[in-house]
Amino acid sequence: MERLDKILSNLGYGTRKEVKVMVKNGWVEVNGVTAKKSDMKIDTDNDIVVVDGEEINYREFVYIMMNKPAGYISATFDNYQDTVVDILDPELQAFEPFPVGRLDKDTVGLLLLTNDGKLNHRLISPKHHVDKVYFAEIDKSVNESDIRAFEAGITLEDGYECMPGKLEILSSDEHGAEVMVTIQEGKFHQVKRMFKTRGKEVVFLKRVEFGGLKLDETLPEGDYRELSNEELKVLRGEA
């Protein structure tokens, strides 16, 4: 059981004070009856709460798939730069979601946002071996010896030894290459730094898959949607 004003303010309907006014004005109904007191107890499993004619959706967690656009940082707040959370509707922002791992400012593609700390931990901990798949454009040709180096585990310039990664060449010539990279870690600038050790530069990077979940290619860059239950099962390793 939870207090009505707490539920509504957590869902972004206003401060507790504002919710009190809404109740006083008769805008809130519980099980078809106008609520009288804003501190009344609600059974979130059974009671139906209607605000201004619309049934509320009480849930604790949100799970969002975003096709991240370039130019946004993977953070919840920044004084100077736009963040991926700034893109979300205020109703979703009210759940205080945060990005699961980070994509660089210039990287596009699949970014998950949630307020579920447990799922976040499962997805970003390298010991869970969650695959992250990237499409990358490289400034030079890519060859078999790069594939073998990725397989063996690249040592970054600071001495960090990466776990084995998978490199697949889609096309490659003297002008550059298009590749798919699969890694299970998320070190800062990892894919870019892996190629740097091979004397090559990533000129475009897009994440297309995360933990078995594929980017919904019908989502334009900068757009997002909530995950389906099926997709959530995939992320939790239940599918």
Residues with active-site annotation: 104
Measured between alpha carbons, how far is 144 from 233 in angstroms, rounded to an integer?
A: 36
Least distance in angstroms from the C-beta of 192 to ligand URA: 4
- Rule CB under 6 A: which of 164-223 touch ligand URA? 189-192, 205
111 neighbors 84 (Cβ within 8 angstroms): yes
In the beta sheet, which residues pair with residue 167?
181
Q: Following DSSP, what letter does each residue of 90-138 receive, concatenated?
A: HHHHTT--EESS---TT-EEEEEEES-HHHHHHHH-GGG---EEEEEEE
Least distance in angstroms from the C-beta of 126 to ligand URA: 13
Nearer to ligand URA, 27 or 204 (CB): 204
Helix (H) or strand (E) holding 21, with range, is helix 16-24
Nearer to ligand URA, 14 or 212 (CB): 212
Least distance in angstroms from the C-beta of 103 to ligand URA: 4
Nearer to ligand URA, 77 or 188 (CB): 188
203 neighbors 137 (Cβ within 8 angstroms): yes
- Enter the tokens of residue 180: 């798919």
Least distance in angstroms from the C-beta of 92 to ligand URA: 23
**Given the DSSP bridges, would you call strands 176-183 and 28-30 parallel, antiparallel or unpaired?**
unpaired
- Rule CB under 6 A: which of 35-74 touch ligand URA? none
CA distances 176 to 63, 107, 203, Å, are 37, 18, 10
Number of residues that bind ligand URA (CB under 6 A): 8
Considering only 107, 116, 119, 200, the residue that binds ligand URA (CB under 6 A) is 107
Nearer to ligand URA, 13 or 135 (CB): 135
Over the window 85 to 104, marking each residue x when it contacts ligand URA by CB under 6 A and - when it does not, the resulting string is ------------------xx
Which residues contribute to the site for ligand URA (CB under 6 A)?
A: 103-104, 107, 189-192, 205
